[in-house]
Structure 1
Amino acid sequence: MNIDAKEVITELRRVIDRDNSKTKILAASFKNVGQVNAAYECGAHAATMGVDILDSAFDMPSINKDVADFSSDWQSVYGTTSLDVQPELLV
């Protein structure tokens, strides 16, 4: 099949918005993160994807650093990296 997914999503979204429809676009069958981003840019309301694509979407140096910094801060305040803390320790 020779289908331009971006064109299809864009046109569907245009009609949905024009008609004030409650219909939502659920995009699927992605091979990479770029396709997911493109679907959202074209107007998809939601997307379903494999864990491998989701993992790669968040595997960025800046995100990894922020997660490490947060974990370190959490450890320094609560003495653990687990969410199993005593309620009285929560601020």
Structure 2
Amino acid sequence: MKIALYISALTISLLTAGCSRPAQPSPPLTIGTAISGMIWEHQHDGISNSAWHIPKEARVDVYDHAVIVYLADGSRRVASLDLVTDLKLK
């Protein structure tokens, strides 16, 4: 009888272990409209590199480690903050 209780308790604890609420995403550090900025393909480490210009007037959300650029066609571009240079927002 005790073994059945232990097995039941273990089963219930395993089933409810993953039932906690997921962590809420962090809010952006800042949100703005792009004046200028570039997103590089690679970090600046001496290899051949190309950049994508962030369109002027695009909405930009800046997070701890990433940037999200909202484009006029409704799509988004996400990049690591390490790949973004010369970002100016208004």
- Confirm or deny a common fold (TM above 0.5): no
Q: TM-score, normalised by structure 2?
A: 0.21
Q: Which has the higher helix share?
A: 1
Query: Which of the two has higher C-alpha Rg?
Result: 2
Q: Which has the higher strand share?
A: 2
* Greater RCO structure (CA 8 Å; 6+ sep): 2
Q: TM-score, normalised by structure 1?
A: 0.21
